[in-house]
């Protein structure tokens, strides 16, 4: 199998060489040489980059003939964990046929540059970038996925209004990358499936416009400074599987309407200022695995019907004002009830340790 893989690599290199011989140099060559000069690649990759023809650097890129009358053009640049240091050249936007750019986990510094409007996939997470091009989200009609997460050295920046014009966007990951300000109206992004803007300094409210995203599957706005209520209108998103609004300053109640989300797996509303009761209707969620309502101001009893959920693995009810008895959950469910002084049988004693999980056996 290994020899077959090597054969494929040699075949790809041979095809690239034939194409180059037929069409001559690519207009992308100068950009690729600048990229090579600005980055320090790991030894196992740098040996491949010794070829004078960049389209033969098959360990980090792919070239295709996108125009029958022209030379091969770079369509994919992919070097995950292949760089030890360096920065990205500003002229990357001259790669006008680039569809995928993946440079995650490389200790890259400097600026996140602009890219051509051909780009569809941008993966730049887990680096040390110190600035971001203001044009990054200007007219990117083909953009489907963006990941900027874990770039904690960026200056404070806001989600640009231009993002809403990327009508094909399906994934937007921007966790821990110095976002501030309010979440903009994203209702134009009808294809958006994953939205993760956690671990930032976002303020304002959870926008009602999120309820206009029919394909939304993951909503993670945790670890911000959001206020207001959890919008009941989120119940209009039938594909939601994860709702994480934890570690904010939200008030009001847990919307009972969340029970109308048939695919919900994780609900985390912990570390807010929520009041009211735990909605008994949560027991109507057939695939629910995790419920975390800890560190709020919830009162009332724990719904006994929660114990009947077949896929439930964790329930964290700690540090609230709950009363009554604790339901008898199954042996595979981790239940945390400490910090509820009015629970019976001493199940609400103060939480004294970082790890205070207890298993309850039926």
List pLDDT tens digits, range 39-91.
999 998 888 898 888 989 999 999 988 776 678 999 999 999 999 999 999 99
What is the structure's pLDDT at 358?
A: 44
Do 49 and 77 form a contact (C-beta atoms < 8 A)?
no
pLDDT at residue 117 tops 80:
yes
Phi and psi, residue 211, nearest 5°:
-70, -5
Establish how many alpha carbons lie within 13 A of residue 125's alpha carbon, considering only the half-sphere containing its beta carbon: 15
Which pLDDT score, from 0 to 100, does residue 175 have?
A: 99
pLDDT at 270 exceeding the cut of 70: yes
194 pairs with which residues across the strands?
A: 171, 218
Q: Provide the pLDDT for residue 3.
A: 55
Return the ∠ at Cα 119 (arms to 114 and 124), rounded to 5°: 60
Residue 265: Cβ within 10 Å count: 17
The fold for domain 1-178 equals 3.80.10
How many Å apart are CA 127 and CA 103, to the nearest integer?
Answer: 9
Alpha helices in the chain (DSSP H): 2-23, 29-38, 43-46
pLDDT mean across residues, the chain:
91
Give the model confidence (pLDDT) of 131-161 as tens digits. Answer: 999 999 988 999 999 999 999 999 999 999 8
Question: Which of 344, 351, 346, 341 minimizes the C-alpha distance to 316?
Answer: 351
pLDDT at residue 180 is higher than 50: yes
**Which CATH superfamily hosts domain 275-362?**
Ribonuclease Inhibitor (3.80.10.10)
- Predicted confidence at residue 118, as pLDDT, reads 97
pLDDT at 14 > cutoff 80: no
Comparing CA positions, the residue from 93, 130, 124 lying closest to residue 111 is 130
Q: Is the pTM value of this prediction over 0.85?
A: yes
Asked if the domains at 1-178 and 275-362 fall in one CATH topology, the answer is yes
- Residue 213 region, left (φ>0) first, then alpha (ψ -120 to 50), else beta? beta
pLDDT digits (tens, 9 = 90+) for 276-310: 999 999 999 999 999 999 999 999 999 999 999 99
Q: Where are the domains of the chain?
A: 1-178, 275-362
Task: Give the span between the Cα atoms of 216 and 239, in whole angstroms.
Answer: 6
* Percent composition of the chain: helix, strand, coil (DSSP 3-state, to 5): 20, 20, 55
């Amino acid at each position: 199998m290994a020899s077959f893989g090597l054969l494929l690599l040699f075949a790809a290199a041979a095809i690239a060489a034939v194409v180059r011989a037929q069409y001559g140099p690519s207009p992308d060559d100068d950009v690729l040489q600048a990229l090579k000069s600005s980055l320090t690649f790991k030894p196992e990759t740098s040996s491949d980059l010794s070829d004078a023809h960049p389209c033969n650097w098959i360990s980090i890129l792919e070239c295709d003939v996108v125009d029958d009358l022209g030379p091969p053009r770079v369509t994919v640049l992919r070097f995950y964990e292949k760089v030890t240091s360096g920065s990205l050249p500003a002229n990357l936007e001259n790669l006008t046929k680039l569809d995928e750019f993946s440079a995650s986990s490389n200790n890259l510094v400097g600026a996140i540059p602009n890219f051509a409007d051909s780009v569809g996939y941008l993966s730049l997470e887990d680096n040390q970038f110190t600035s971001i091009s203001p044009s990054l989200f200007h007219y990117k009609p083909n953009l489907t996925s963006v990941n900027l997460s874990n770039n904690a050295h960026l200056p404070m920046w806001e989600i640009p209004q231009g993002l809403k014009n990327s009508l094909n966007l399906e994934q937007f990951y921007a966790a821990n990358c110095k976002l501030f300000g309010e979440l903009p109206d994203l209702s134009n992004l009808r294809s958006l499936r994953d939205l993760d803007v956690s671990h930032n300094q976002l303020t304002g409210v959870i926008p009602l416009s999120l309820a206009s995203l029919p394909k939304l599957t993951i909503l993670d706005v945790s670890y911000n400074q959001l206020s207001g209520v959890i919008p009941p209108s989120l119940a209009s998103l039938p594909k939601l599987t994860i709702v994480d609004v934890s570690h904010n300053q939200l008030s009001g109640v847990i919307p009972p309407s969340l029970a109308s989300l048939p695919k919900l797996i994780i609900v985390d509303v912990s570390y807010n200022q929520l009041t009211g009761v735990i909605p008994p209707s949560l027991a109507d969620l057939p695939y629910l695995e995790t419920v975390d309502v800890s560190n709020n101001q919830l009162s009332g009893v724990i719904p006994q019907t929660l114990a009947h959920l077949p896929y439930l693995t964790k329930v964290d009810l700690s540090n609230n004002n709950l009363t009554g008895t604790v339901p008898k959950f199954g042996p595979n469910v981790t239940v945390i009830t400490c910090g509820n002084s009015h629970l019976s049988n001493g199940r609400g004693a103060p939480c004294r340790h970082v790890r205070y999980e207890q298993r309850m056996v039926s």
